[in-house]
A and B are shown apart, each in its own frame.
Chain A
Amino acid sequence: MIKRVLNGADALVRSLEEENVEYVFGYPGVAICPFFNSILNSDIKTVLVRQEQCAAHAASGYTRVSGKPGVVAVTSGPGATNLITGIATAFADSIPLVCITGQVDSRLMGSDVFQEADISGACESFVKFSYIVRQASDIPRIVKEAFHIASTGRKGPVLIDIPHDVQMDRVSGFAYPVSVNLRTYKPTVEGHPVQIKRVMRELARARRPIICVGGGVHLSDAAEEVRKFAEAHDIPVVSTMMGLSAFPTDHPLFYGMVGNNGQKYGNRAMNEADMIIMVGARVADRSISQPDLITENKVLAHIDVDPAEIGKNAGPSIPLVGDIKHIFREFNERDLEVDYSDWLDWLDGCKDDVLNAESKKRAEIQEEHILQGRKNYVDPRIFIRKLSLKMDKDAVYVADVGQNQIWSCANAVMRRGRFLTSGGMGTMGYAVPAAMGAKISSPDRQVVAVCGEGGFQMTMQELATIVQYEVPVKIVVLRNNVLGMVRQHQHFVYHDRFSVTDLSTVPDLDKLSEAYHIGYLRLETNEGMNECLDAFLKEDKTMLLEVMIDPDDLC
Chain B
Amino acid sequence: MQKKVFQLLVDNTTGVLSRIAGLFSRRGYNIESITAGVTADPRITRITIVTSGDDDILEQIEKQVAKLEDIRDIHELKPEESVYRELALIKVKADASMRDGVVTLSNIFRGNIIDVSEEALLIEATGNSGKIDAFLRLLSGYEILELARTGIAGLGRGVKNVIMIDQEGEIYKYVDGKPESED
Contact = CB atoms under 8 A, between A and B. Distances in A.
Nearest to A110: B27
Contacts of A110: 26-29
B23 to A, nearest CB: 9
Nearest to B28: A110
Given A110-B26, A110-B28, A121-B26, 8 more contacts: A109-B27, A109-B28, A110-B27, A110-B29, A111-B27, A118-B26, A121-B22, A121-B25
Interface in A76-125: 109-111, 118, 121
Q: A110, A111, A118 — which one has the most chain B CB atoms within 10 A of its CB? A: A110
Q: B22, B27, B28, B29 — which one has the most chain A CB atoms within 10 A of its CB? A: B28
Nearest to A111: B27
A105 B22 CA distance: 20
Interface string B1-33: 000000000000000000000100111110000
Contacts of B28: 109-110
B50 to A, nearest CB: 19
Interface in A114-166: 118, 121
A370 to B, nearest CB: 57
A135 to B, nearest CB: 15
Interface residues of A, number: 5
Contacts, number: 11
B17 to A, nearest CB: 15
Contacts of A109: 27-28
Nearest to B64: A110
A109 B28 CA distance: 7
Interface of A: 109-111, 118, 121
A7 B22 CA distance: 31
A109 B24 CA distance: 12
Contacts of A121: 22, 25-26
11 contacts: A109-B27, A109-B28, A110-B26, A110-B27, A110-B28, A110-B29, A111-B27, A118-B26, A121-B22, A121-B25, A121-B26
A305 to B, nearest CB: 29
Contacts of B29: 110
A121 B27 CA distance: 11
A234 B142 CA distance: 67
A109 B26 CA distance: 8
B65 to A, nearest CB: 13
A109 B22 CA distance: 14
Contacts of B25: 121
A175 to B, nearest CB: 29
A166 to B, nearest CB: 14
A198 B155 CA distance: 60
B83 to A, nearest CB: 32
A336 B70 CA distance: 62
Interface in B18-71: 22, 25-29
A110 B29 CA distance: 9
A363 B1 CA distance: 79
Contacts of B27: 109-111
A207 to B, nearest CB: 49
Nearest to A107: B28
Nearest to B25: A121
Contacts of A118: 26
B26 to A, nearest CB: 4
B148 to A, nearest CB: 21
A345 B3 CA distance: 77
Contacts of B26: 110, 118, 121
A110 B27 CA distance: 4
A110 B28 CA distance: 6
B59 to A, nearest CB: 13
A526 B114 CA distance: 83
A498 B141 CA distance: 77
Contacts of B22: 121
B7 to A, nearest CB: 23
A118 B27 CA distance: 8
A111 B22 CA distance: 14
Q: B26, B27, B29 — which one has the most chain A CB atoms within 10 A of its CB? A: B26
A357 B94 CA distance: 80
A109 B29 CA distance: 11
A69 to B, nearest CB: 27
A459 B23 CA distance: 33
B80 to A, nearest CB: 30
Nearest to A119: B26
A155 to B, nearest CB: 26
A109 B27 CA distance: 7
Nearest to A106: B28
A110 B63 CA distance: 13
Nearest to A109: B28
A303 to B, nearest CB: 34
B108 to A, nearest CB: 39
Closest 5 CB pairs of A and B: A110-B27, A118-B26, A110-B28, A121-B26, A109-B28
Nearest to A124: B22
A397 to B, nearest CB: 41
B102 to A, nearest CB: 33
A92 to B, nearest CB: 22
A388 B27 CA distance: 52
A111 B25 CA distance: 12
B150 to A, nearest CB: 25
A117 B22 CA distance: 13
Contacts of A111: 27
A121 B29 CA distance: 14
A371 B25 CA distance: 67
A205 B26 CA distance: 56
A163 to B, nearest CB: 11
B111 to A, nearest CB: 34
B21 to A, nearest CB: 10
A126 to B, nearest CB: 15
A237 to B, nearest CB: 43
A118 B26 CA distance: 6
Nearest to A118: B26
A118 B22 CA distance: 10
Nearest to B57: A110
Nearest to A116: B26
A111 B29 CA distance: 11
A110 B25 CA distance: 9
B14 to A, nearest CB: 15
A118 B19 CA distance: 13
B1 to A, nearest CB: 16
Interface in B113-157: none
Nearest to B26: A118
A164 to B, nearest CB: 16
A164 B29 CA distance: 20
Nearest to B24: A110
A118 B29 CA distance: 14
